[in-house]
Structure 1
Amino acid sequence: MNREPKAKSQEPQTSGRSDTGRSERAKRAEGLPFASERLTFLEHLTVERGLSRHTVEAYGRDLEYFAEHCHERGLALPPQIDEDCVVAFGPYLASKRGLQPVSIARALAAARTFLKFLAGEGVLPADPSALVSRPKLWRRLPDVLSQEDAATLCEAPEAEAQAGGRLSWRDRAILELFYASGLRVSELCDLKLADLDFQMGIVRVTGKGSKTRVVPVGRDALETLRRYVALLRPKFAGPKDEDRLFLSRTGRPLDRIAVWALVKRHGRVAGIPGDYSPHTLRHSFATHLLEGGANLRAVQEMLGHANISTTELYTHVDAKRLLAVHAQFHPRG
């Protein structure tokens, strides 16, 4: 009788806060240099290059940093940007923004792409970043769950199901699909009901650059998804007949923040140590496939990586495991 209020507390209400944050950020961005040029560039990324909304938003945030950096140097017009300004952007991000090397490299790449675009449009006489060397980074090995911990995380919502939690079927379907198909969190949130093919056992995914790929879904994930779609989702779907696969109890599509919170909450309940996220399940999906002998090209296709060098990172994770086995069992390990 009194379980419904408790269930409401399980799902974070984030939309109002994030909308406020976005509006405040937009006002601040408009007051920074190159506002119209930045807007034109972001429209170019969306319309001509077909990048996803999440990718364009990331470019926008990085270019706000660049505009702030230029503002502090007293630069108000694009032609005033010079090579020294580009070189100083990395140290600015580290000292003033406290960003990590990977985030700094991403922001520098965004600024380079922006400046190259302005030069191509004739706004700049030349690209001031063309001769600036790119920072070299050690590639960080992704965090990966053991096969046992991945299974425990996927099964964690069952404890809530036994206590009468209404959302447990949906939550388990999300966790199982992450681990079974290696989706990015934005890809999972954007899935439509029609993207699932239960007969073929596949899901059609629209990834980066609006590229579509087909990914297999394992038996356990399919069974959990069938249960969610048949028994729980119809209770959430409202009169608008929302076509997204995963819905909140109010019938609205789940956003990335809610899904991140969901993964972390069930991980804590399951007692899994460490810092993990939806991407941890994607990393685990790829690593466990390669450990089982899967072909690297097949894993690349399932992950939606444009470059196989990105997928090769997971072979280093497997090599790390092999080194540990060698050290433990070899007489001179």
Structure 2
Amino acid sequence: MVNVNFNMVNDQLQIDLVALPSGCREVMVNLPNGQHLTYQFDDVVVKGRRISIEEFRQMVEEFVDYLDINESRAENTLKGYRKRLGQFIEWLKRNEANPAEVRVWVAYYASLKRRQLSVYTCKGHYHILNRYGKWLEEKRCLPVNPMREVEPPVLPKERLPKAIYQEHIAAMLREAKTVRDRAILLFFRDTGCRAAEALSLTWGDVNLEEGKARVVGKGNKERWLYFKGVTRRALERYRETVSHKKSDPVWWSNQKGGGALTYDGLYKLFQRLAERVDVGDGNFNPHAWRHAFGRDTTRAGIPTAQLQELLGHTSIEVTKVYATFNDTELQEAHDRYSPVEDDLLALVSE
């Protein structure tokens, strides 16, 4: 094993890749915060062919196109991949590094871990790098996935998703003055859908009479969203104000020129309403409403397996996070269900 030296340049961790001795298969990076990053690699990858930055950039675009066409990833997911892999490319340019070498990927990931990023942000970077590395291996652009031996960050076991509070939901609904805005808020509150799912809806997907809408979620999985009478009536009122052929989008932009509502437009709508009612914790976006749906239906007693289906989670472990309760909630539950009651004590004292 070789201990690798590094320099700090503009808060970036830079490792001397050229200084590694021939035949080196394991390196340890000693980080200033006391942590260590150890990695083992194969000579075949270290001595791989040279890939130019421009060639690597084209590979990234081909990879993102693959995710779009073959895996039907959401627009925001594709933007996230482009952004983070673009950051990798910029790092490669600054360091004049060869992306065909495993140690280059390790050095970049080490630089991310050195920065003051949350464990969830590091996890996001790791996931994208690992997914891209697997794709490069499958396409035979690289002999192996450079991230195959890198351990992902360990996330906390319990983390309750950030969700908007009920009083803020009510306040934002009161502030929604147009039939469109009110219909949007009620739809998110009643269905717990993802933003991308809502924005992809056409009127042909919506059955107002039965109170349900068909969406295609993550992994190209189709499912039904369900909504109650108050949401159905709001949708009916909104429907009368827009073009509603089966192929028309459900949600239209209010901007000049019209067209389908975009994610930026949706986010700004939630942001504008939240600012008017002073939602100070920042948990106002569409995904915070999805988390609120999961939280509140769980507390109302919905079976976890049913909530999993409604939210479109592949794994029930993801859904179980909504069953995380704080101390006050647990104490209230104990007070309600504890088998030790006053009449039991009366029997004991007899």
Return the letter of the residue paired with 1:125: P
Structure 2, unpaired ranges of 5+: 1-51, 338-350
Instruction: Tell me, in whole angstroms, the C-alpha distance in 2 between the residues paired with 1:210 and 1:314.
Output: 24
Contact 1:52 1:210 in 2 (8 A): no
Q: Which amino acid aligns with 2:267?
A: W
Which whole-Å deviations, capped at 9, do the CAs of 1:247-269 have from their partners, x for residues lacking one? 12343111111111111221232
C-alpha contact 1:32 1:68 (8 A) present in aligned 2: no
Q: For residues 135 and 322 of structure 1, do their structure 2 counterparts lie closer, same or farther at Cα, with a shift above 3 Å needed?
A: same
- Residue 205 of structure 1 aligns to a residue whose secondary structure is strand
TM score, norm. by length of structure 2: 0.72
Query: Which of 237, 242, 248 lines up with 1:227 in the alignment?
Result: 237
1:326, 1:211 → 2: CA distance? Answer: 36
Per-residue CA deviations over 1:100-126 (Å, capped at 9, x if unaligned) read: 321221121111111122122222122
Q: Which amino acid is 1:114 matched to? A: Y
Moved over 6 A (4+): 326-330
Larger strand percent: 2
User: For residue 125 of structure 1, what is the aligned residue in structure 2?
Assistant: 143
Whole-Å Cα distance in 2 between the matches of residues 320 and 286 of structure 1? 19
Partner of 1:297: 305
**Contact 1:32/1:71 (8 A) holds in 2:** no
In the alignment, structure 1 residue 36 sits paired with structure 2 residue 44: no
How far off is 1:241 after superposition?
9.4
Which of the pair is proportionally richer in helix? 1
Quickly say closer, same or farther: Cα 1:123–1:146, change in 2 above 3 A: closer
- RMSD (Å) for aligned C-alpha atoms: 2.9
Letter aligned with residue 85 of structure 2: L
Larger RCO (alpha carbons 8 Å, 6+ apart): 1
- Counting matched residue pairs gives 283
TM-superposed CA distance for 1:328, in Å, is: 10
Query: TM-score, normalization: structure 1?
Result: 0.76
Checking the alignment, whether the CA contact within 8 Å between 2:202 and 2:246 is kept in structure 1 is: no
Say whether residues 1:155 and 2:163 are aligned partners: no
8 A Cα contact 1:33 1:71, kept in partner: no
For structure 1, which runs of at least 5 residues remain unmatched after alignment? Answer: 1-29, 161-167
Structure 1 or 2, whichever has the larger Rg, is 2
Q: Secondary structure at the match of 2:225?
A: strand
For the structure 1 residues 302 and 327, does the alpha-carbon distance in structure 2 shift closer, same or farther, using more than 3 Å as the test? closer
1:64–1:99 Cα change, 3 Å = farther
Query: Which residue in the other structure is 1:16 paired with?
Result: none
Q: Name the residue aligned to 2:93.
A: 71
Alignment deviations for residues 222-249 of structure 1 (CA, whole Å, 9 cap, x no partner): 111111112x224xx8xx9971111123
Specify the SS of the correspondent of 1:213. strand
The residue type paired with residue 273 of structure 2 is: H
* Identical positions, percent: 26
